[in-house]
A and B are shown apart, each in its own frame.
Chain A
Amino acid sequence: MKLSNTETIPGHTIREFYGVVSGSTVRAKHVGRDLMAGLKNLVGGELKGYTELLQEARQEAVDRMVEQAQSVGANAVVNVRFSTSSVTQGAAELFAYGTAVRVD
């Protein structure tokens, strides 16, 4: 599956459009990580636990989007966008969406 955030897959021509596909996941951080991040919050700097957590979550959202694209028979997703929103305390929704297409 080819992914791109431009309007085409560079070097390929789009043959068919299948419409919007999306994938999302809502994740909460666990207490241990939260505690460490709380300490790290005092001195500043990168909160590695959160970086990893969000990265994993975003990957899962992308995987779900790819699954959906495969199920409609696409072989590429173009114009992929990401969005993050805090839905409730201590949890975030990671959302990925794009346009499923068939390219040669």
Chain B
Amino acid sequence: MEPWVEPAIRLGFPLFLLVVTYFIGSAVERRHQRDLQRREQRSRNLPALTFQTPPEDWQIEESALVTGSVVISIDYFKRFLAGLRGLVGGRVASYESLLDRARREALLRMKERAFDSGFGAVVNVRLETSRLASSSRRGQGTSGVEVLAFGTALKLSRA
């Protein structure tokens, strides 16, 4: 074997992985964003409020706790970019987009679940974010973030 083959493989594989995950990762992200937009349009008439108590003129028949959650991760290429960004500081746009998508997805799941059970509104909506530590690399690598959205769903009777 030629002496340059081994370093070429060592360097080539991560580069190849970066290129491949760049394309697949961007496609996955774009598809998710389109899907979110479509579903947000559809669930627009179900209000989700962060108010503690519902407005006084609402006639409430029934209530229940509803939750929606998602675990989502970033692709290898963007993680690499974010690592570089960590050297110079500044906005880490790739993680901003990841968290934005996760929150919207969790909210949507909560709303969809409320809607499917016949509820008309959700009050006291809260969002919680937590990092899942990966079991490899001594828990250093982030294997994903979980966003949980929860609130009290209300069944309203029109007075």
- Residue numbers of A with Cβ under 8 A of B are 2-11, 29, 34, 37-38, 40-48, 50-51, 54-55, 58, 62, 80, 82-86, 89-90, 92
State in angstroms the CA–CA spacing of A45 and B36 once bound together.
13
Nearest residue, chain A, Cβ from B137? A89
Say yes or no for B92: interface residue by CB 8 A criterion.
no
6 A-B interface contacts by CB (under 8 A): A42-B17, A44-B29, A47-B71, A51-B146, A55-B67, A89-B135
Q: Is the CB of A50 within 8 A of B146?
A: yes
Among B110-154, those with CB < 8 Å from A are: 123-124, 126, 128, 130-136, 138-139, 143-144, 146, 148, 150-152, 154
Number of interface residues of B (CB under 8 A): 49
Interface of A is mostly: mixed
State in angstroms the CA–CA spacing of A11 and B61 once bound together.
7
State in angstroms the CA–CA spacing of A90 and B54 once bound together.
40
Q: Is the CB of A11 within 8 A of B60?
A: yes
Q: A44-B74, A46-B70 are in contact. Are A54 and B146 (CB under 8 A)?
A: yes
Q: A10-B154, A89-B138, A90-B135 are in contact. Are A46 and B65 (CB under 8 A)?
A: no
Q: Is the CB of A58 within 8 A of B78?
A: no
